[in-house]
Chain A
Amino acid sequence: DVKVTQSSRYLVKRTGEKVFLECVQDMDHENMFWYRQDPGLGLRLIYFSYDVKMKEKGDIPEGYSVSREKKERFSLILESASTNQTSMYLCASIVEGLNTEAFFGQGTRLTVV
């Protein structure tokens, strides 16, 4: 089975802290994504990466950055956490082709106080 693992299930951080959310996938997928999930807004794309060291902004990149030094690992960085970044964060990787499918981590519920 494909596994996408996020480093934390719950996280509480203080305003102004630099926060790292880690995501690792074990199936050699090229495309990886970070989404933010909020009630009534669905999943909104923050950043995605289609190869090592390659990244593109999604729909809501402000206040975030990403790092992909190795193919299996895609990190989301909150440069200076703010309370409006309190949310659920989901990492996904996609296998392309006829049976294309996104595989998700279990989510990190981040609270910024």
Chain B
Amino acid sequence: AQTVTQSQPEMSVQEAETVTLSCTYDTSESNYYLFWYKQPPSRQMILVIRQEAYKQQNATENRFSVNFQKAAKSFSLKISDSQLGDTAMYFCAFEWWETSGSRLTFGEGTQLTVNP
């Protein structure tokens, strides 16, 4: 079974500073994707960043970047120059494939608050 663990229920950061959210996962799959999703107070879940397991290069999307350590099964999210609009619940997620299609499992979530 695939599991995803986020050990930081809550975090806070000052505006313009950098923050790192942690995620570890457990799997015996060799091919998979990892994601960070953001859920702001509006509740609409949106994709922040995607990482293919077979790619060694860490994914980046503007102010968002990941540190993907495949051997350690670690997938952290770094947010640079934090903005008030980054305040949200962040979920780490793991996608793999069975014969019938995709499967997607999530961590417990980290509530990030950006303070002015």
Interface size on B, residues (CB 8 A): 28
Q: Tell whether, in the assembled complex, residue B104 and residue A94 are in contact, meaning their CB atoms are under 8 Å apart.
A: yes
Whether B44 is near chain A, meaning CB under 8 Å from some CB there, is yes
Whether B75 is near chain A, meaning CB under 8 Å from some CB there, is no
In chain A, what residue has the closest Cβ to B95? A100
Whether B25 is near chain A, meaning CB under 8 Å from some CB there, is no
Q: Please give, as numbers and ranges, the residues of chain A lying within 8 Å of B43 by CB-CB distance.
A: 88, 106-107
Whether A20 is near chain B, meaning CB under 8 Å from some CB there, is no
Contact residues of A with B, CB < 8 Å? 30-31, 33, 35, 40-45, 48, 50-51, 54, 56, 88, 90, 92, 94, 96, 98-102, 104, 106-107
Contact residues of B with A, CB < 8 Å? 4, 6, 9, 33, 35, 37, 42-47, 50, 52, 91, 93, 95, 97, 100-109
